[in-house]
Amino acid sequence: MTMSKSIYPKMNPKAKKTWVKALRSGQYTQADQYLCIESQPGSGPAFCCLGVLCEELGDGHWTFFDVTAVNAVPHWRYSHEDQKTAHCGIPPLSFMKSIGLDPEAADELACMNDKGKSFDQIADYIVANL
């Protein structure tokens, strides 16, 4: 039997464990295209898998960005440390580096999330490959 080797470096084990537990917890509503959106007015936020990561492990902050005037989805943007740039689709590079998440792996996870993979399926992938 041949075992396939992960193409990504292993991330911080403690961070990985916390993230996987959160993805499997049922605590988060899943969203796509954005780290965090307002899923239904008044219903609270929904997160992509990377948004869950920011929420659980990030030491940054969220800023609400209401773009209803231009028919876009109201969403939150995430800023890490003292960066002036807020991110809406993928976590800041400085945050990913701090927990050992390869940016290419983050891109792959974002694609999995946006193509409809469940949080449980994404958690399985993280365990096996990161």
pLDDT digits (tens, 9 = 90+) for 78-103: 666 655 555 577 888 888 999 999 99
pLDDT at 93: 87
Predicted confidence band of residue 60 (pLDDT cuts 50, 70, 90): confident
Q: How far is the C-alpha of 41 from the C-alpha of 59, rounded, in Å?
A: 26
Answering whether pTM is above 0.95, one says no
What per-residue confidence (pLDDT) applies to 97? 93
